[in-house]
Chain A
Amino acid sequence: MSMRGQPIVEHHGIASGTEMSTWATLKRGFVLSPELKKGIWVTVALAVLSTLGRVLVPFVVQRITDEGLLADGGPDLGSVAMYIGVALGGVVVTAFSAYFVNIRLFQASENGLATLRTKAFRHIHDLAMLTQNTERRGSLVSRVTSDVDTISTFVQFGGLMLLINVAQITLATVLMVVYSPLLGLVVWVCFVPLFVIIRKFQGIVGRAYTRVRERVGDMLGAVSEAVVGAQAIRAYGVEERTAQRIDAAVEAHRKAAIGAQARSVIAFTSGQLVSGMTTAVVLVVGTVLAARGSLTLGELLAFLFLVNLFTQPVQQATEILNEMQNAVAGWRRVIGIIDTEADVADPGDRGVTLPRGPITVQFNGVGFAYPGGDPVLHDIDLTIAPRSRVAIVGETGSGKSTLAKLLTRLMDPTTGTVQLDGVDLDSIRFSTLRSRVVLVPQEGFLFDGTLLDNVRFGRPEATEDDVRLTLTELGLDPWVATLPLGLATDVGQRGESLSAGERQLVALARAYLADPDLLVLDEATSAVDPSTEVRLQRALDSLTRGRTSIAIAHRLSTAQAADEVIVVDAGRIVERGHHTDLVRLGGVYAGLHDSWVAQQTTV
C-alpha cells in the first residue's frame, strides 16, 4: 500500500454517535431490536399489576393502623385480620406478576440484544476495508461485546422500572392530594428543583460515562501491545517503557471511572437529600395543620407513608436515569457502527451474477486517492485477457498493491471504472465476486485451529481428500510431512506456531482450494524460501492455466514466468510486455531486473 499522501488514520474513527440525542438513540435502538417491543404491553400490564400490589401493602398497613390498631375502643382484631388477608393477597399477586415480568423482560431483552450484536457484527464485516482500518480491532470488538452488555442492565430492569416509577409517582400524587391537597402541593414544590437538577445532571453523567468507555478502549489497546508485541518488547528490553505506557492508560481509565462515579453519586444523593428534607417539611407543615385541627395525627402519619411511596420511586428513577446514560453511551456506539454506511457495498439482488469461466479484467481511466490524500494512481487504462498470467511489478510505494485492492473491490476507485467481463465491478453481486475473484495478501491471517480447517476456510464443504489433493498439487507434501501432526497440526492463534513463510503456504493453499477464476497474489510468497517458491511457481503455472492470474511481486522470478509484465511507477503504468522484451527495452523494468540479477549472481 502506498503511503504517499495517505492521511494517517485517527483512532475512534467510526462515529460513536455522540451527536445523537438520548431519545433518538432509544428510538433507533428499539427499531434495531424489534424483540424489545414484542409483547411489551402485556409486560407493562403485568408490571402495573405488580406495582399495584406493592402500593396496596403500605396502604393496607396504614388502614390497619388507623382502623384496627387505633380503632375506638381498643384494637379491632377482626378488621386487622381482614386487612392482613387483603395485604397477603397483594403480596401473592405482586410476586407472581413480578415473576412473569422478570422472565418476559429477560427474554425480550436478551433476544433483542442478540439481534443487535449479530447485526453489528455482520455490518462490521460489510464495512469497507478502509473504514475498518480507521478503528482499533479491540474497539470494534467492544462494540459487539461490552457496549452491548452495558445496554442489557438497563433494558432488563431500568427501562420498565422507569415506567413503573412514573406510574407509582402518579398514583402516590393522587393519593396525597386525596388525603391533603395542601401537603401534596408541599411535596411537589420541594421536588421541582430536583427535577431541574436531574435534567442538568443527565448530560454531565452521560459525558462522563462516554469518557469511561473511550478510556477502556485505550487501555485495551495498551495492554494488547504487551501481549502481541511480547517478542519485540523483549528483544529491545523496553519492558519498563511499555509498563509506563500501560500504567498511563490504566490510570486514565481509573480517573475517568472515579470521575463518573463521583458525578453519579452527586446526582443520586441530591435525590436522597430532597426526599429526606421533604419528609421534614411535611412534618413541620403537617404539625401546623394538625394544630389548627385540619388534620388528625393518624392522617399525618399516614401521609408520611405516602411521602415514602412518592420519594422511593423518585430516588430509584434518578438512579436509573444515571444508569440509562451509561446504557445510552454504549447504545450510541453500537448504533454508530450499524449506521456507518458500507460504502463499498454488495449490490445484492440488484447485482449481476457472472457465469463461471476465465475472466477479462479492464481498468478504464482509473484513479485512486486515499480519503483526504493525494492520488496514488492516475488514469490507469488496462485490459488483461482471460487465461493470461500477468505480473505487476514496481518499486515499493508505486501503487501496485492499490491496483490489486481495486480489482478485488476491497476499495472503489476515485475516478474511472474497473470491469470484469465487461461488467462494472460495483454491480457484481458479492456472492459471485468473492467466489470468482480471490486475493492472497502478504500477511495471510490464519485462524486458531488445525491446518486442515485453515486450508478449507474458503470452501468449508471440501473434504479432507480435497485438501490433501490441493497440497499435493501445489507440491507442498514434503512440507506437510515435516509438521508434527500433518494436516491435524494446530497452527496456534493467528497461525503463530508456524513460521511466516509457512503461513504464506497455508494462505496460498487456502485460496487455491477456493477455486477462483481470477487469482490475485499480492506478494503472497515473500517469506518463502527460493526453492519452495520456484516449485510453487511452477505448480501454479500449470494449475492456473485456464484461469486468469495476477501476481504482484518484487521477486522478479515471478515476472519472468508471466505472459505479460506490467510495470507501475509513481501511480502510472509505464511499461508492459513480455519479460524478454522489457529487458531489451532498457527502461524501468530493465533497471529493476538488473538489480534483481545482481542479487542472484554468484560472483
Chain B
Amino acid sequence: MSTATPSTLREGWSVIGRGIRGQPRWFGLAVVGSVVYGIMTSLTAAAIGFVVDRAVTPAIAARSVTAGQLWFIGGVMSAVVLTTILGVIGRRLAGGVAMFNLGAMYRRQVTRQYLRLPLSWHHKHPSGQLLSNANADVEATWNIFGPLPMALGVVVMLVFGVLQMLIVDPWLAVVGLTVFPMLFVANIAFQRAMSPRVTRAQQLRADVSEVAHESFEAALIVKSLGREDHEAERFRAVTHELRDANIEVGRTRGRFDPAIEAIPTIGTLAVLFVGTLRVRSGLLSPAEVVQIAYLFSILAFPVRALGWVLAELPRAVVGWKRISAVLDAEGSMAYGPRRLPTGTASHLQAESLSYAYEIETEQGDADLNPAVVDVSLDIAPGSTVALVGPTGSGKSTLTNLMMRLVDPDTGAVLVDGIDLRQVRQGGVSEVAALVAQQTFMFDDSVRGNITLGLDHDDDAVWRSLDVAQGAGFVGDLRDGLDTHVGERGASLSGGQRQRIALARAVIREPQLLILDDATSAVDPSVEQAILSRLREASTGTTVLVVAYRMATILLADEVVYLEEGRVIDHGSHEQLLSRCVGYERLVTAYARESAERDAIAADEEVSR
C-alpha cells in the first residue's frame, strides 16, 4: 500500500509527464484554456475596479450617464466574461479529450499485451484482475487529467493574484503570500492522510468486483446447490469492508475540507484588517482594499483544484503501477523468420518434450508440477494418431505444446523438420488447427465464429458445418449463419459449440489437425458421423486426436498411450491391447462393463 511519501509525488509527476507526452496537443490546448481562465478570473476584480473608476464613479458624480459609458461598462465586462468562458470550454473539452484519448490509448496497449503475452503468462494472472487492469486501473491513472489543467491554471491565477497584490500594496501581498503557502501545506497534509485510505478503498473495490464476477459466473452452481445465502454473505462481508473504508475516506475528507475552505476566508478577513490599518495610515484607498478582498473571495474556490490533483495522485500512481506491470511483462514468445511448408500433410515430431506447471506450495513457495515428461513422437505425414490416457495424464498439455501455445521446458516440437520456435508469428496456425476440449465462442455470429475473419463464402461455411454435423441445427436457428451466439456462445448447448468449433477447424483445411476430445459433448451417432466425414475430408491432413472411445481410436493408424505425462507405449491398437495393461483396461472399460452387466442380466433371466 502506498502512502504519500515524496516518492508518490515523484512517481505521480512521472505518470503526469507520460500522459502529457501521450497527448501533447490536447493537453496543451487545455492548459492554454486553463491559463486564460486563470488570468481572466483574477482580472475580473480588476475589471470591475477599472469600469467603476472610469465610468461608474464619473457617472455618479455627474448625476447622469451617457450611452457611451454604458456601452463601455457592458463591453468591458462582456469581453472578460466571454474570454473566461472560452478558457473554460478549452480547458474542460480539451482536457476531457486528452483524458479519454489517454484512456483509449492505454486500453489498446494493455489489451495488445494480453494478446501478445504467452498462454503461460495468462495462466498466472486471474482474468478478473486483467479486466480491471484494462478498465478501472486505466481510468484511475488518467482521471487525474480531469482536474490537472484546472490546477495548472490555478497556479497561474495565484501568480497573477500575488502580482496584483504587489502592485497595489506590499503589505497586502505579504498576507497573500502567507495564506497561499498555508493552503498548499494543508493540501499536502490532506493528500498524505488520504493516500493510504484511498488506496485501500480502491483495492477493496477490486475485491468486491472479483467476488461478484466469480459468483455470477458460478450462478448455475450456486442455484443448484442452494448456496445463495452463503454467496450473499461472502459478498456482504467484502462490501461492508469497502463501506467502512469509504467512510474512513469520508472522515478524513470531513476533517480537512472545512479547514481548507476556511483558509481563504480567514485571508480575506486578514486583508480587510491589515487594509483598514493601511487606509488609516493613508497609504491605501478603500477601493484598493475592496479589490484585493474581492480577489481573495474569487480565488478561494479554484484553489481547491490543487487539492483535487493532489488527492488523485495516489490513485493515479497505484493505477499506473498495475498497468505497467502488464506493459512491462516479459516472457513473450520469440518468433523466428521461417514459414512452414504448405500443400502437403505435415510431418509432426516431438523430441523429448518436458513441461511443468508452476504451482505454489502451502508454504507459499514456488514449485513445479510436471505435466509432460520426456515425450518423443514421430507422426508421419497424412497419418492419424490417437493420444490415449487417463484423466489428467497430460494429453491437453501435449496438444498445447504441439500448437506452440506454450513452449516446452526442454526438447522441441518440429513440423516438417522445422522447430516451431523458428517459425514466424502466426505461422503455426496457418497450417495447423486445434479444436480444444473446452471450446471458446466469440460474441459474434455463427459465421464469424467459423471464419474468424478469413475470406470464406457461405458455401464453404456450410460445407464445413456439414462435415462437423452442424448444418442441421444451424439451419434451424432463426437467423441461420447470422445468428449471434451470445457471450461465450451462451445461447448454444455444449454439443452445438463443439460442432461450430470443429467447423472452424475444418474450413481452414489444415495440414495438421489436433482434436482434443473435441466430440465429448455430442451423441455417439453424431460423433460417428463427424469422424467418418472428417476422414473423407482430410486426406491431405495429419491428425492427432485425443480420444477415449474405441471408434475414434480405431480410425487411427497408431496409438500413443500416456500416463502421468510419460509415453508408456505406442503402436497399433492391437499391439497395445495385447501388451499394455493400462491401455487395455482403459479402452475396454465400457465393453467389459457392458459384458458384465449383460452376464448379470442373463443370470437374472435364467434364475427368473
Does A160 count as interface, using CB distance less than 8 angstroms?
no
**Which residues of A sit under 8 angstroms from B254, Cβ to Cβ?**
98-100, 102-103, 106
Of the candidates B108, B268, B389, B428, which one forms a contact with A529 in the assembled complex, judged by CB atoms under 8 Å apart?
B389
**Which residues of A sit under 8 angstroms from B391, Cβ to Cβ?**
479, 499, 501-502, 505, 527-529, 532
Of the candidates A94, A125, A401, which one forms a contact with B223 in the assembled complex, judged by CB atoms under 8 Å apart?
A125
* Contact flag A8-B477 (CB < 8 Å), given A220-B131, A223-B134, A500-B437: yes
Q: How far is the CA of A100 from the CA of B258 in the complex (A)?
A: 10
Contact with B along A488-525 (1 / 0, CB 8 A): 11101110111111100101001100100000000100
Does B163 count as interface, using CB distance less than 8 angstroms?
no
Does B591 count as interface, using CB distance less than 8 angstroms?
yes
Determine, out of B5-13, B15-23, B205-213, the stretch whose residues face the partner at the interface: B205-213
A-side binding surface: helix, strand, loop or mixed? helix
Determine, out of A195-203, A358-366, A418-426, A592-600, the stretch whose residues face the partner at the interface: A592-600
Determine, out of A37-45, A275-283, A380-388, A467-475, the stretch whose residues face the partner at the interface: A275-283
Of the candidates A80, A156, A482, which one forms a contact with B392 in the assembled complex, judged by CB atoms under 8 Å apart?
A482
Cβ contact within 8 Å between B473 and A397: yes
| Segment 137-192 of B: residues with Cβ below 8 Å from A | none
Does A31 count as interface, using CB distance less than 8 angstroms?
no
Does A540 count as interface, using CB distance less than 8 angstroms?
no
Of the candidates B276, B428, B587, which one forms a contact with A530 in the assembled complex, judged by CB atoms under 8 Å apart?
B587
Of the candidates A140, A246, A297, A441, which one forms a contact with B57 in the assembled complex, judged by CB atoms under 8 Å apart?
A297
In which size bucket is the chain B interface?
Answer: 35 or more
Determine, out of B347-355, B377-385, B514-522, the stretch whose residues face the partner at the interface: B514-522
Of the candidates B96, B104, B123, B524, which one forms a contact with A253 in the assembled complex, judged by CB atoms under 8 Å apart?
B104
Cβ contact within 8 Å between A300 and B280: no
Determine, out of A19-27, A178-186, A348-356, A432-440, the stretch whose residues face the partner at the interface: A432-440
Cβ contact within 8 Å between B224 and A439: yes
Q: How far is the CA of A236 from the CA of B508 in the complex (A)?
A: 10
A-B residue pair count with CB separations less than 8 angstroms: 546
Q: How far is the CA of A229 from the CA of B444 in the complex (A)?
A: 13
Cβ contact within 8 Å between A485 and B440: no
Contact with A along B516-533 (1 / 0, CB 8 A): 010011111111100000
Contact with B along A447-463 (1 / 0, CB 8 A): 11000000001101000
Q: How far is the CA of A569 from the CA of B410 in the complex (A)?
A: 51
Cβ contact within 8 Å between A502 and B255: no
Does B390 count as interface, using CB distance less than 8 angstroms?
yes
- Complex: chain A residue closest to B370, CB-CB: A484
**Which residues of B sit under 8 angstroms from A602, Cβ to Cβ?**
550, 554, 573, 577, 588, 591
Of the candidates B51, B52, B250, B520, which one forms a contact with A156 in the assembled complex, judged by CB atoms under 8 Å apart?
B250
Q: Which of B70, B244, B390, B593 has the most CB of A within 10 A?
A: B593
Of the candidates B57, B235, B400, B527, which one forms a contact with A121 in the assembled complex, judged by CB atoms under 8 Å apart?
B235
Cβ contact within 8 Å between A433 and B226: yes
Q: How far is the CA of A458 from the CA of B279 in the complex (A)?
A: 82
Determine, out of B84-92, B337-345, B460-468, the stretch whose residues face the partner at the interface: B84-92
Cβ contact within 8 Å between A304 and B48: yes
* Contact flag A297-B239 (CB < 8 Å), given A224-B131, A527-B517: no
Q: How far is the CA of A484 from the CA of B367 in the complex (A)?
A: 9
Does A81 count as interface, using CB distance less than 8 angstroms?
yes
Of the candidates A129, A223, A595, which one forms a contact with B528 in the assembled complex, judged by CB atoms under 8 Å apart?
A595
Cβ contact within 8 Å between A269 and B85: yes
**Which residues of A sit under 8 angstroms from B479, Cβ to Cβ?**
8
Q: How far is the CA of A395 from the CA of B469 in the complex (A)?
A: 13
Does B331 count as interface, using CB distance less than 8 angstroms?
no
Cβ contact within 8 Å between A6 and B491: yes
Of the candidates B119, B215, B235, which one forms a contact with A230 in the assembled complex, judged by CB atoms under 8 Å apart?
B119
**Which residues of A sit under 8 angstroms from B280, Cβ to Cβ?**
74-75, 77
Cβ contact within 8 Å between B525 and A534: no
Q: How far is the CA of A372 from the CA of B592 in the complex (A)?
A: 46
Cβ contact within 8 Å between B89 and A592: no
Q: How far is the CA of A235 from the CA of B466 in the complex (A)?
A: 22
CB distance from A587 to the nearest CB of B (A): 14
Can you give 18 contacting A-B residue pairs, CB < 8 Å? A100-B254, A102-B253, A111-B243, A117-B239, A125-B232, A141-B209, A219-B135, A223-B111, A230-B122, A234-B119, A241-B452, A283-B73, A290-B56, A308-B297, A445-B217, A531-B586, A534-B593, A602-B591
Complex A-B, nearest 10 residue pairs according to Cβ-Cβ distance, in ascending order = A434-B226, A106-B250, A276-B81, A237-B429, A102-B254, A280-B77, A599-B551, A501-B391, A261-B96, A232-B440
